[in-house]
């Protein structure tokens, strides 16, 4: 019998890919698509909204570069592609505050990078 997991430290833990590749890289990168500003905006809004037990962290490459700017929300493990502050607002309002999903921005099991050559 295994020990039960400890309670979640963060009830909402968001990782925003801020990986940056050189200009012209074939895969591009989330930072090149503006993810750092989106992360900053999301952090600021989360603070304003006072979401308890939550954190927004920068992440290195999450390996879904082609679908970036990519972010993932745990513990649900739901991924989104957010391009604008309005996208972030919609994710915060619908997903974080109301437990819903923003279907138009969600990455699915079909959103996978092309196989490596």
Q: Taking CB under 6 A as the rule, does residue 68 contact ligand FES?
A: yes
Strands (E), the chain: 12-17, 54-59, 70-74, 78-81, 106-107
Furthest C-alpha separation in the chain: 52
C-alpha 106/C-alpha 96 separation (Å) is: 14
Least CB distance to ligand FES at residue 76 (A)? 18
Q: Taking CB under 6 A as the rule, does residue 95 contact ligand FES?
A: no
Instruction: Pick the piece of the chain touching ligand FES (CB under 6 A) from 63-71, 76-84, 85-93, 96-104.
Output: 63-71
Chain residues that interact with ligand FES, rule: CB under 6 A: 17, 19, 29-30, 61-65, 68, 70
């Amino acid at each position: 019998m295994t020990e039960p997991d400890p309670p979640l430290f963060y009830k909402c833990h968001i990782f925003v890919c801020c990986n940056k590749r050189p200009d012209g890289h074939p895969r591009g990168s989330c930072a090149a698509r503006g993810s750092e500003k989106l992360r900053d905006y999301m952090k600021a809004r989360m603070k304003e909204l006072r979401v308890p037990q939550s954190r927004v962290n920068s992440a290195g490459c999450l390996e879904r570069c082609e679908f970036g700017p990519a972010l993932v929300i745990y513990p649900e493990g739901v991924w989104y592609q957010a391009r604008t502050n309005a996208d972030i607002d919609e994710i915060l309002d619908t997903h974080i505050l109301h437990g819903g999903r923003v279907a138009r921005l969600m990455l699915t099991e079909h959103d996978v990078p092309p196989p490596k050559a």
